[in-house]
Chain A
Amino acid sequence: MNRIKQLFEEKKNILSIYYTAGYPNTGDTIQIAEALEKSGADMLEIGFPYSDPVADGPVIQASSKQSLDQGMTLKLLFEQLKDLRKTVTIPVLLMGYVNPVLQFGVEKFCEACAEVGVDGCIVPDLPMVEYEEFYKDCFGKHNLSNVFLITPQTAEERIHKIDGLTNGFIYLLSSSATTGKNLEVGNTTEAYFSRIKNLNLKNPTMIGFGISDKQTFDKACSYANGAIIGTAFVKAIADGNLEESVSNFMKKFKA
């Protein structure tokens, strides 16, 4: 069974961590994955960097740029992940923009994901119609989940359509915003989270964008199966001892 499915069947209040591959140093990708699993992360989203990340705020833009400047490529990332499954058991997704995938080759990309043990992908600028027509079969063949995003502005009909196309979880954006904005759970956000909860979607949901501490995490978990932390984590590992930074950061959520 796909590791993502299994996780959602077995656990509640899932904590998923995003980080940029090759940041702060090119060789850190696997070490961060191992440290995160050790300190209690339930799922990982490894970002493959892109030169023009329009959905990202300053922190993830900067980590992407640094990683690229240091020589990171998608090809190198798959080499780094070659032995991923020798030490990492939790679900792993790759997250990034569509152009590097296109240049790598969609078929080849799916094969490489399956080979190293990646369980799914999040490609924010890949439209649903394109996915359906050109990617879905390939993803299915390699048992990869594809995760779509929804925002407070996403119409209900479209949410159901997304639910039908997804087979992992749905990424619920707390607001229409680039990554790294703080979550302010006001009445409208709560109404939106409740609205989604009441749709009884077939897929589990994860709340992302703006989760930065235990309080916002718990709040998110009351409406969804868990939450995703990205910017706050990327900031936390910018310097210092990597393992200590990871473990200190994770302690805040596991208290």
Chain B
Amino acid sequence: MLFITLGFNQGKKEKNMKYKVNEKGYYGDFGGAYIPEMLYPNVEELRQNYLKIIDDADFQKEFHQLLKDYVGRPSPLYLAKRYSERYGANIFLKREDLNHTGAHKINNTIGQILLAEKLGKKRIIAETGAGQHGVATATVCALRNLECVIYMGEVDIERQAPNVARMKMLGAKVVPASSGSKTLKDATNEAMRDWINNPVDTHYIIGSVVGPHPYPDMVAIFQSIISEETKKQLLEQTGSDQPDYVLACVGGGSNAMGMFYHFMDDENVKLIAVEAAGKGVSSGFSAATTYLGKEGVLHGSRSILMQTEDGQVVEPHSVSAGLDYPGIGPQHAHLFKTGRGQYVSITDEESLHAGLLCTQLEGIIPAIESAHALAYLEKMEFKGGENVVVCLSGRGDKDLDTYIKYFNL
């Protein structure tokens, strides 16, 4: 009764549903909608309408027009010469860092703001960690003239002051989350509480492939533009749309899901998801969820999360605020459990060195999140000539302070 068949999506491009969401909102053992009754009407409204709205020709036209003219898509797929020489493989960088607002996050907020308009919502709320999703949300709210409230942990507000200023300049109200650890997880709790208290006119733009169904699927669909473009670009540049490896960093996992999306059914393409090991997976200061976590429920879906034996959520740590999250999206949990994706981790130090290396080899300062994916290249062994795509999910401007401090620049 809760989940009715998603009729309108049948017979479409999805040739293989093995890794996609089923009609009950699950990916294998993971997903679902574990929400209090107060959120049910909103989530149900979204579930009943999201595919219908997204599949509509007018929506697609407007979405792609904005991605092209406003975001600056398609983002280049750049064959990084000096990286390729270093590793003896063809290293391609998918340049999401060149998007407007500096990261992949805007792909999702453009999609969701258009969807919120179709649902007649007047007020937008969102959570943010480093502020990238907050800025991307505030940006589209300015663009479409909608009220915007961003929840951000008190700790993050202090350490990400430039992004707080950007959001305010864009007209958003930034509300500090002062509960719990005062970071991303708590900002998410506060946004959910806001939604409970504003059940009619508000849309919650979740920034990652987490949350109750249909959020993980909806965000993945909006981010799937990354792999859709990559396939075309690879075909043009290499003569094949199938690389040997695809790499992306994972916090909640939205850039990784966008990067993996159209490769999931190409079983010969190896998917590598890079988590944040923080100070080391056994240090007690880590965000390596698949390594440290167990199955459970967080923020509305069943997935893998870092928790105590008693089921209390454990505080993660990563130098990169965007990976500082104690869970992963349910689709990632499914890719991990089925072995379709390989989940590895990179420490704070390794990621910072990889960020510097990328800057010096290719003249690109990556976000520390993205630097985690780049860092894993150092650990891979190539026979020679493999095609490897790394999602450069964001630019490093926001991380200059961290780089400066670490390298005494």
Contacts and interface: CB of A to CB of B under 8 A. Distances in A.
A173 B38 CA distance: 9
Given A54-B192, A100-B310, A178-B196, A149 B1 contact: no
Interface string A80-111: 00000000000000000111111110000000
Interface stretch (B97-105, B147-155, B293-301, B398-406): B293-301
Interface of B: 1-3, 24, 32-38, 40-41, 179-180, 185-186, 189, 192-193, 196-197, 199-200, 294-300, 307, 309-313
Nearest to B37: A149
Given A99-B298, A176-B196, A52 B185 contact: yes
11 contacts: A54-B189, A54-B192, A55-B36, A55-B193, A55-B196, A99-B307, A127-B32, A128-B1, A149-B36, A176-B38, A177-B196
A125 B312 contact: no
Contact of B34 (A51, A58, A68, A126): A126
B197 A178 contact: yes
B31 to A, nearest CB: 11
Interface in A119-168: 124-130, 148-151, 153-155, 158, 161
A176 B35 CA distance: 13
Nearest to A128: B2
A51 B309 CA distance: 13
Nearest to B40: A154
B310 A103 contact: yes
Nearest to B185: A52
Contacts of B189: 52-54
A97 B300 CA distance: 11
B297 A124 contact: no
Contacts of A103: 294, 296, 307, 309-311
6 closest cross-chain pairs (CB), A and B: A103-B311, A100-B311, A73-B310, A124-B36, A176-B199, A149-B37
B180 to A, nearest CB: 7
B38 A61 contact: no
A195 B40 CA distance: 20
A150 B38 CA distance: 8
A118 to B, nearest CB: 18
Interface of A: 50-55, 57-58, 61, 65, 68, 73-75, 97-104, 124-130, 148-151, 153-155, 158, 161, 173, 176-178, 181
Nearest to A50: B312
Contact of A102 (B2, B33, B36, B311): B311
Contact of B35 (A58, A100, A125, A154): A125
A83 B175 CA distance: 45
Contacts of A97: 297
A218 B49 CA distance: 41
A151 B310 contact: no
Contacts of B37: 124, 148-151, 154, 173
A176 B197 CA distance: 6
B288 to A, nearest CB: 19
B193 A98 contact: no
Contacts of B180: 51-52, 65
Contacts of B192: 54
A99 B327 CA distance: 13
A80 B157 CA distance: 41
B299 to A, nearest CB: 8
Contacts of A65: 179-180
Contacts of B296: 99, 102-103
A175 to B, nearest CB: 9
Select the residue from B32, B193, B197 with max chain A CB neighbours within 10 A. B193
Given A54-B192, A102-B296, A153-B199, A125 B311 contact: no
B2 A127 contact: yes
Given A127-B34, A151-B41, A173-B38, 18 more contacts: A52-B313, A65-B180, A73-B310, A99-B296, A99-B297, A99-B307, A99-B313, A102-B296, A124-B37, A125-B35, A127-B32, A129-B2, A130-B34, A150-B37, A153-B200, A154-B41, A155-B41, A176-B38
B35 A127 contact: yes
B179 A98 contact: no
Contacts of B179: 58, 61, 65
A74 B311 contact: yes
A181 B35 contact: no
A149 B36 CA distance: 8
Nearest to B312: A51
B2 A100 contact: no
A114 to B, nearest CB: 20
Select the residue from B38, B40, B192, B307 with max chain A CB neighbours within 10 A. B38
A100 B38 contact: no
B358 to A, nearest CB: 35
Contacts of B35: 125, 127
Contacts of B38: 55, 149, 151, 153, 173, 176-178
